[in-house]
Structure 1
Amino acid sequence: MVSSRPTSSTSRGTKKTRRGGADCDTARIGFVGAGKLATAIITGLISQRGQVDPKRIYVSAPTTINTDSLKITYPGIHTSKRNIDIFGRFDCDIVFICCPPNVIRSLYKIGGSRPAALTTNFIPNMRHPVYIISLVFGFTVQQIKECLLNPENPGRYTAQFFRCVISHPIAYGVGHWWIDTEPDSERFPNLVREIFTRIALIEYVPESLLDTVCIIVGSGITFCYYFINAIADGAVKKGMPRKMAVKFAAKIASSTSQTILTTDINANQLKEDASSPSGGAIYGQMILDKSEVSSGICGAIEASYKRSQTLALTGKTENIE
């Protein structure tokens, strides 16, 4: 792998004038925020098929709780407590905004009609292309721009902004990435596509639906793990070893999902096709219906959305009911 680019003022100036943009082997990838999703993306990039040298990863967070752990796991990662370093001192080419929505909301409260800068000072005019990708629930691309670009001259930047949702399994090289731009279009940067198609399937979703996608992906994955574990519990209750039971349940979940995606047949119809008259499956479904499992899962999605919306609208992190 190519080592980090030099950081002296002279060499940086030379670098910026000679390159129109980085490539897959030199691009610096930055993260504003070091939570679970940022960690999952970093893990996928380094540990899985991403093949990215840790020295090309840069992370900013207000505390060192998560960044210290990252540096131990992946020696060579660069960290800072200052968000501005991602764009200034570290000079990243691709930047993920991974902070919680309450952080962005607090900037609007501080700044009033015009938000305060996420990076304390607005980001510098980077003389090479920089791709800024927001994963923040509840805030549009335009709102994220207002937290980063100098409002006195926003047109002087060479930055491109995108909004997306990334699933946690990206940590294991099997994630999905839903973005507000057609991934095969000219607007979608080749650099981003070439690096991230190694560890995720990239698909287009209109920005208007990304908040809903965020909840389905973020909470839905958790609920799927919950359901797989519940199926495994039933097998364990009947004498199957735990490890074997979990594998069987996961394989069933995987093949079921692939059937829906491959055939495009409605899940209800497939459920009927798999249930024999007076068979065990229909008796089990009656127990699920009696326990209101379906409405419970639907309610859980709604509760997740409401909680995320509360964080985005109020900026408060304590329990609000």
Structure 2
Amino acid sequence: MSAPNESVKTSVSANTSRTRRSRRTRADKTTCRIGFVGAGRLASAIITGLIVHPRDNPNERPVEPKRIYVTAPTTVNTDQLKITFPGIRVSKRNIDIFGRFDCDIVFICVPPSVIKNLYKIGGTRPAALTTNYIPNMRHPVYVFSLVFGYKCDQIKECLLNPENPDRYAVKFFRCVLSHSIAYGVGNCWVNAEPDSKNFPELVRDILSRICRIEYLPETHMDSVCTITGAGLAFCYYFINAIADGAVKLGFPRASAIKLASKIASSTSQTILHTGDNASKLKEDASSPSGGAIFGQMVLDKGEVASGICAGIEEAYKRSYTMANSGEAH
């Protein structure tokens, strides 16, 4: 977050720069500028996906690093991004995303503690995430919040001047993105039908090359955020456990990991393809008196299923606690 004592002169300067740059032609998927407020793991995953993985698809051009802009209060993560992707522009001032950098698409990737602290120090209204409220934009800007525990309206209050909120050409969305987006195989859930007029075509063109976009009501965003984050870690945990079993049976570690990963991939694809309940498919894959049944009895004795369920619940509670206590990640 930008320093609280950032001068008004900086905001005016950013606004002036914004006015000069607003004369550029309407942005499309080959020219739009993409901004990130926050430079943590999720922001890095999205950036990696945008720059690297469309190269796997000859029909899509990757986003050039020069069109990506990142702000963070320290240079710990941004320095690494600049090394990995030369050409990325960075700043310590969040206002630059909307002012000097003049971004068209903005991802809010700050920890919940940042928003919590804005409400704590702001009194009846939150303090501005950009220290001074963002300038009135002269072209559409699409803001996507990935902040756990806070609704779109709350993020909007942290950015727009309350004296003239209707003068902004800014549209806000809430979304969840899986970290697999870094490899071009991620998922995106957003609180707008991705094929409707309510969802910007520009954003759909950018994201659809590296993830699958689906609608999700905002009321479910926090739950899906937990399931996506913790569930992904649990799946890696389970795949590693299967690989350990393969190693125990004599497989080399590398071969065991590849085997377990292929099994997990084909299993999930089967569920998605058939639409059948996982329990039914589990029964179909288990022969009477076969090895799978005996193995499942061992898992049941160890309460593996209830343990995973409890783990998801505990992950949600922890995320909720951090979002409401202002505790930093």
Q: TM-score, normalised by structure 1?
A: 0.94
Assess, with a 3 A threshold, how the Cα gap between structure 1 residues 207 and 101 changes in structure 2: closer, same or farther. Answer: same
Determine whether 1:257 maps to 2:268: yes
Deviation at 1:246, TM superposition (A): 0.7
Greater mean deviation of Cα atoms: 7-16 or 142-151: 7-16
Deviation at 1:11, TM superposition (A): 8.7
Match of 2:315 in 1: 304
Determine whether 1:64 maps to 2:75: yes
Deviation at 1:14, TM superposition (A): 5.6
- Residue deviations 1:236-280 (CA, integer Å, cap 9, x gap): 111101111111111111111111111111111111111111110
Which structure 2 residues correspond to residues 219-234 of structure 1 after superposition, within 5 A?
Answer: 219-234=230-245
Determine whether 1:137 maps to 2:143: no
Aligned length: 311
Which structure 2 residues correspond to residues 266-277 of structure 1 after superposition, within 5 A?
Answer: 266-277=277-288
- Residue deviations 1:86-123 (CA, integer Å, cap 9, x gap): 11111100000000011101100011221000110111
Query: Is residue 21–residue 102 contact of structure 2 (8 Å, CA) maintained in 1?
Result: no
Match of 2:64 among 48, 53, 57: 53
Match of 1:17 in 2: 23
Match of 2:4 in 1: none
- Residue deviations 1:34-85 (CA, integer Å, cap 9, x gap): 0000000000000110600000010001111110000000000001111111
Match of 2:204 among 184, 193, 208: 193
Deviation at 1:311, TM superposition (A): 1.2
Which structure 2 residues correspond to residues 1-321 of structure 1 after superposition, within 5 A?
Answer: 13=19, 15-17=21-23, 19=25, 21-49=26-54, 51-317=62-328
Partner of 1:48: helix, strand, or coil? helix
Deviation at 1:15, TM superposition (A): 4.6
Deviation at 1:228, TM superposition (A): 0.3
Aligned equivalents of 1:113 and 1:279: distance in 2?
64
Q: TM-score, normalised by structure 2?
A: 0.92
Aligned equivalents of 1:269 and 1:304: distance in 2?
28
Question: What is the letter of the counterpart of residue 45 of structure 1?
Answer: L
- Residue deviations 1:198-232 (CA, integer Å, cap 9, x gap): 11110001111111110110110011001001000
Query: Is residue 36–residue 107 contact of structure 2 (8 Å, CA) maintained in 1?
Result: yes
Partner of 2:23: helix, strand, or coil? helix
Question: What is the letter of the counterpart of residue 25 of structure 1?
Answer: T
Q: Percent identity?
A: 69
Partner of 2:128: helix, strand, or coil? coil
Please, what is the CA RMSD of the aligned residues? 1.7
Deviation at 1:317, TM superposition (A): 3.2
Partner of 1:152: helix, strand, or coil? coil
Question: What is the letter of the counterpart of residue 22 of structure 2?
Answer: K
Assess, with a 3 A threshold, how the Cα gap between structure 1 residues 214 and 185 changes in structure 2: closer, same or farther. Answer: same
Greater mean deviation of Cα atoms: 7-16 or 245-254: 7-16
Q: Which ranges in structure 1 are unaligned for 5 or more consecutive residues?
A: 1-6
Query: Is residue 14–residue 100 contact of structure 2 (8 Å, CA) maintained in 1?
Result: no
Query: Is residue 14–residue 99 contact of structure 2 (8 Å, CA) maintained in 1?
Result: no
Aligned equivalents of 1:222 and 1:116: distance in 2?
34
Aligned equivalents of 2:118 and 2:179: distance in 1?
27
Deviation at 1:17, TM superposition (A): 3.5
Match of 1:3 in 2: none
Q: Which ranges in structure 2 are unaligned for 5 or more consecutive residues?
A: 1-12, 55-60
